[in-house]
Amino acid sequence: MQVAASETLAARIERGDRTALARMISWAENGDPRFAAELAALWPRVGRAWRIGVTGPPGAGKSTLVNELARVERSRERTVGICAVDPSSPFTGGALLGDRIRMDDRTLDPGVYIRSMASRGSHGGLARAAASACDVLDAFGFATILLETVGVGQAEYDVLDAADTVVVVLCPGAGDGIQAMKAGLLEVADVLVVNKSDMPGAERLQNDLIEAVHVRFTKRAWSVPVVAASAGTSKGIEDVLEAVAQHRAHVEASGLEAARRRKRIEQVRHSVSEQLAERLWGPKGLRGRVEAELERGASPHAVAAALLEEITQGLNRPTEARR
């Protein structure tokens, strides 16, 4: 493919250039300052895909399920973009690497694009990078986007703000249902999947989850379905997609734009908090100054108050002017 020297990544992505797609996602991942202008150019094309977040505890079979969901979507002639957020690099974890290699077979199909994102050591910026990657995949034109993240903590939950439907995958095993409730996994679920449904305890887990959903979420408009599946043997995948389709119909009926705006507000909030924390406390941050002021005998209370005053100074004036 010929590339004009002056052509922007956005323009190349608009005409389906996968090399440009890969580079732009790398820019998102690395926090490249050039990313913002390209995304702004692509922004009118964002919002056409349906984004399915897939999360759950380690070992629940998320990657296998994502692979199967992609397979069935492709059999229905829908294109699929996959963004898999790994808490550690995909090149260090044995199981993860295995999963990815298996999934990479699907990359021979031009209707699928798979991207793994490592967390770059810290959790900072992960949600932001994943959301940006989904935006780029969306602008590129994939019909379905699968966003996979392990459900272990707040940073991973924040990733799910980029999803329209959140599928939480659990499997039978020592107290898995209880763990999920404790970890707040149920709270983020739009669809619950009991994976490895041929294993002992699957029915019990499914009944426990149905009861938990019934007890906890009686006041919500959307009743979270509990679907049995066995991704390893390709069972129940259509049922999962059917539950996602029902959730999509529900969201669209009750106002898709409002739902997306709520999630985008959360994205802005997490993005600002993350970047602010990096600016304030990263290598070029305020630590040295705080140390010096404490050394001079100021209380932590006084140092914090002075810093806060300084930080919000610039903010206060324009905000008041706008009212």
Residue 47 or 90: which CB sits closer to a second copy? 47
Residue 77 or 295: which CB sits closer to a second copy? 295
Residue 46 or 97: which CB sits closer to a second copy? 46
Structure tokens that stand for 78 in this block: 């829908």
Residue 203 or 310: which CB sits closer to a second copy? 310
Q: Which residue, among 106, 88, 108, has the nearest Cα to 97 in the 3D structure?
A: 88
Number of Cβ within a 10 Å radius of residue 158: 23
Distance between CA atoms of residues 112 and 79, nearest Å: 6
According to DSSP, the residues that pair with 56 across neighbouring strands are: 150
Q: Which residue, among 51, 52, 69, has the nearest Cα to 61 in the 3D structure?
A: 69
CB of 267 to a second copy, least distance (A): 4
The one-letter amino acid code at 230 reads S
Q: How far apart are the first and last CA of the chain?
A: 51
CB of 168 to a second copy, least distance (A): 20
Residue 249 or 276: which CB sits closer to a second copy? 276
Distance between CA atoms of residues 27 and 132, nearest Å: 10
CB of 158 to a second copy, least distance (A): 12
CB of 56 to a second copy, least distance (A): 17
CB of 295 to a second copy, least distance (A): 7
Distance between CA atoms of residues 177 and 312, nearest Å: 44
Question: Could you list the residues that contact a second copy (CB under 8 A)?
Answer: 35-36, 39-40, 43-44, 46, 128, 131-132, 135, 261, 264-265, 267-269, 271-273, 275-277, 279-281, 286-287, 289-291, 294-295, 297-305, 307-308, 310-315, 318-319, 322
Distance between CA atoms of residues 311 and 74, nearest Å: 50
Report the C-alpha dihedral over residues 264, 58, 167, 173, rounded to 10 degrees: -150
According to DSSP, the residues that pair with 235 across neighbouring strands are: 230
Residue 222 or 281: which CB sits closer to a second copy? 281
CB of 183 to a second copy, least distance (A): 10
